[in-house]
């Protein structure tokens, strides 16, 4: 209550923050560092806590309302005429195809640098917050993403980063040059600056609309060159839950590069619009050998193909000319029919409603991928599959049962939910029995990444590391992707389970998890 003091005792294991309304956006959070009771397996000479966040002069209520009224309100990185003329953006035909389906490949973040200043420990990018070191020291940097809506891509140009902890749990050291950190995730890294000079710490927003910046230096007041913002990413077909590589005739093809233009989004009138059923290909017998001039499909009017007109959106957004000369590509062997982007038979537990814009037709495990915009940066980026627990997991039992949970939403109406139902419409918690071992499959049916967080528990990511699976409390489920984790329901009580993008949670992407004591009636 206002003007009162509350004293309580608890066993802390996370950063702390308010869960009242939208107070997190106002800065109601803080870091907690817990030293191990025994010998710390990580050796270092000094440490710094790095709290990344997004700050806005706009009230959080106004931000939320703006996104409800216009989901692209804060997106100032849309494609432009200048981008078309300079060939920086999509070609005209691709753009028209996207327009027919009301898609926006630049819709990576809801709230962007147009609303936010990205900060490090409360300091803006021009304030030059500085972490000191002596050359040759092993410096431990404890990164916490305390933002409301921002996924950061973190790097220190000129310094390799050795990841030693994820979400407060020790992992086998992994050397990288960059890592993506979702809201509520934490990573501890070791750096060893060899020279008597400054280094820039960069926390670049995932949509490249701004950055948090700090400095590592031997002395206060020093600065280093600040790299420019990199080119903003565009969403791809994978972000629509289309695993093209698994289709007949597509084996061995890399669909993530420039051979196909990105596709993203669907019409807000989801049940009646053209994008409710997207035909990925209805090409019949198309030989893809290189045509004169290097354009494999030059002169072909794709709109006349079955399902490829504006009403079907067949291969809209795909740059067929870039596929010229692909060795061994015979599209005639591909038997691909219409791709229903709202096929509820693939997710029978999802409630059919305007709040569910798409159902991923072919969601894939993306834990071996670096994250949106980091596919071709030219250096090593941390992926979840790199992480291995330093010690054997405390519970290595096989799961007793499995539970699928779909991450659903309508990006045009800013509606977010689990299994098609927002929290205010659900009256029963997700039940677990104390001590049971459960496998959770998270399927992202939206075209935006979600950092999914569970209170009171750690889980083990199923990434092929057996009894040394990485233990976390938050994981980013990439657009159109899926993540599997096992956990032991060992904390009796009611716990929040939610997307840690604050406004997604506020819109309804949250549920209560109830762990009942053994012996209680079901």
Distant-in-sequence, close-in-space partners of 254: CB < 8 Å, separation ≥ 6? 245
Give the percent of the chain with pLDDT over 90. Answer: 62
For residue 177, pLDDT beyond 50:
yes
Instruction: Give the pLDDT of residue 229.
Output: 97
CB 472 within 8 A of CB 174: no
- In this prediction, residue 48 has a pLDDT band, given cuts at 50, 70 and 90, of very high
Instruction: Tell me how far apart the 2 most distant CA atoms of the chain are, in Å.
Output: 78
Instruction: Give the pLDDT of residue 514.
Output: 97
- Structural domains of the chain sorted by starting position, each given as residue range(s) with its CATH number in brackets: 16-58+114-217 (2.60.40.420), 364-516 (2.60.40.420)
Instruction: Give the pLDDT of residue 344.
Output: 80
For residue 416, pLDDT beyond 80:
yes
Q: What is the mean pLDDT of residues 111-125?
A: 96
CA distances from 394 to 159, 313, 425, 432 (A): 34, 50, 36, 19
Q: What is the mean pLDDT of residues 194-202?
A: 98
- In this prediction, residue 87 has a pLDDT band, given cuts at 50, 70 and 90, of low
Angle at 167 between CA 165 and CA 171, to 5 degrees: 30
Q: How far is CA 151 from the centre of its chain?
A: 7
374, burial (CB in 10 Å: exposed 0-12, middle 13-18, buried 19+): buried
For residue 79, pLDDT beyond 80:
no
Instruction: Give the pLDDT of residue 262.
Output: 37
Specify the DSSP element, H or E, that contains 174: strand 169-176
CB 209 within 8 A of CB 232: yes
Which of 407, 429, 379 has its CA nearest to residue 178?
A: 379
Q: What is the mean pLDDT of residues 473-494?
A: 97
Instruction: Give the pLDDT of residue 276.
Output: 34
- In this prediction, residue 264 has a pLDDT band, given cuts at 50, 70 and 90, of very low
User: What's the number of CA atoms in the CB half-sphere (13 Å) around residue 393?
Assistant: 22
Instruction: Give the pLDDT of residue 193.
Output: 98
Residue 85: count of CB within 10 angstroms of its CB: 9
Q: What is the mean pLDDT of residues 495-502?
A: 97
Query: What CA–CA distance (Å, rounded) separates 323 from 301?
Result: 16
CB 190 within 8 A of CB 170: no
CA distances from 485 to 9, 32, 230, 401, 495 (A): 30, 25, 33, 12, 17
Q: For the segment 126-162, what is each residue's pLDDT rounded down to a tens digit?
A: 999 999 999 999 999 999 999 999 999 999 999 999 9
Instruction: Give the pLDDT of residue 97.
Output: 62
Instruction: Give the pLDDT of residue 287.
Output: 36
For residue 207, pLDDT beyond 90:
yes
CA distances from 143 to 192, 212, 294, 510 (A): 16, 12, 48, 25
CB 381 within 8 A of CB 179: yes
Q: What are phi and psi of 96, to 5 degrees?
A: -65, -40
Instruction: Give the pLDDT of residue 511.
Output: 98
Query: What CA–CA distance (Å, rounded) separates 14 from 28?
Result: 14
CB 314 within 8 A of CB 270: no
Comparing 271-275, 368-372, 478-482, the range with the smallest average pLDDT is: 271-275
Query: What CA–CA distance (Å, rounded) separates 504 from 511?
Result: 12
CB 372 within 8 A of CB 239: yes
Mean pLDDT of the residues in the chain: 82
Confidence (pTM): 0.80
Q: For the segment 225-263, what is each residue's pLDDT rounded down to a tens digit?
A: 999 999 988 877 788 777 655 554 444 444 443 333 333
Instruction: Give the pLDDT of residue 100.
Output: 61
Query: What CA–CA distance (Å, rounded) separates 318 from 321?
Result: 9
For residue 408, pLDDT beyond 50:
yes
User: What's the number of CA atoms in the CB half-sphere (13 Å) around residue 194?
Assistant: 3
For residue 182, pLDDT beyond 60:
yes
CB 392 within 8 A of CB 172: no
For residue 300, pLDDT beyond 60:
no
For residue 36, pLDDT beyond 70:
yes
- In this prediction, residue 3 has a pLDDT band, given cuts at 50, 70 and 90, of confident
């Amino acid at each position: 209550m206002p003007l009162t003091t509350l004293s309580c005792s608890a066993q802390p294991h996370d950063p702390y923050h308010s869960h009242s309304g939208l107070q997190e956006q106002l800065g109601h959070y803080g870091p907690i560092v817990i030293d191990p009771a025994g010998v710390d397996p990580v050796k270092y000479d000094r440490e710094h806590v790095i709290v990344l966040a997004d700050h806005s002069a706009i009230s959080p209520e106004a931000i939320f309302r703006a996104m409800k009224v216009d989901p692209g309100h804060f997106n100032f990185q849309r494609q432009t005429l200048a981008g078309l003329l300079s060939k920086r953006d999509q070609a005209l035909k691709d753009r028209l195809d996207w327009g027919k389906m009301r898609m926006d490949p630049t819709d990576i973040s809801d709230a962007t640098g147009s609303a936010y200043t990205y900060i490090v420990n409360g300091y803006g990018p021009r304030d030059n917050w500085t972490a000191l070191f002596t050359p040759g020291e092993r410096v431990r940097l404890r990164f916490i993403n305390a933002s409301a809506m921002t996924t950061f891509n973190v790097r220190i140009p000129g310094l390799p980063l050795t990841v030693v902890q994820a979400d407060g749990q020790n992992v086998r050291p992994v050397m990288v040059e960059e890592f993506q950190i979702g809201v509520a995730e934490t990573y501890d890294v070791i750096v060893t600056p060899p020279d008597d000079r400054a280094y820039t710490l960069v926390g670049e927003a995932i949509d490249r609309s701004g950055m948090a910046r700090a400095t590592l230096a031997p002395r206060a007041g020093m600065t280093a060159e600040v790299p420019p913002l990199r080119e903003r990413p565009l969403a791809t077909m994978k972000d629509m839950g289309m695993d093209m590589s698994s289709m007949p005739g597509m084996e061995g093809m890399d669909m993530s590069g420039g051979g196909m233009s990105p596709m993203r989004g669907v019409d807000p009138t989801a049940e009646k619009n053209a994008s409710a059923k997207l035909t990925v290909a209805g090409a019949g017998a198309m030989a893809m050998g290189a045509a004169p001039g290097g354009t494999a499909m030059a002169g072909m009017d794709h709109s006349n193909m079955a399902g490829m007109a504006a009403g079907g959106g067949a291969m809209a957004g795909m740059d067929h000319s870039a596929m010229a000369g692909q060795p061994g590509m015979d599209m005639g062997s591909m038997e691909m029919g219409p791709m229903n982007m709202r096929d509820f038979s693939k997710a029978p537990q999802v409630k059919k409603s305007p709040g569910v814009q798409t159902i991923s037709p072919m969601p894939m495990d993306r834990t071996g991928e670096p994250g949106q915009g980091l596919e071709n940066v030219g250096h090593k980026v941390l992926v979840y599959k790199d992480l291995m627990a330093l010690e054997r997991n405390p519970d290595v039992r096989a799961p007793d049962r499995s539970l699928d949970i779909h991450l659903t939403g309508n990006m045009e109406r800013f509606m977010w939910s689990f299994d098609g139902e927002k929290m205010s419409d659900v009256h029963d918690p997700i039940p677990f029995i104390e001590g049971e071992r459960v496998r959770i499959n998270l399927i992202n049916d939206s075209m935006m990444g979600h950092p999914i967080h569970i209170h009171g528990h750690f889980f083990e990511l199923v990434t092929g590391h057996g009894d040394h699976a990485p233990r976390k409390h938050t994981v980013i489920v990439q657009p159109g992707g899926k993540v599997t984790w096992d956990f032991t329901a060992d904390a009796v009580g009611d716990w929040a389970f939610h997307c840690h993008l604050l406004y997604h949670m506020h819109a309804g992407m949250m549920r209560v998890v109830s762990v009942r004591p053994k012996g209680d009636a079901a």
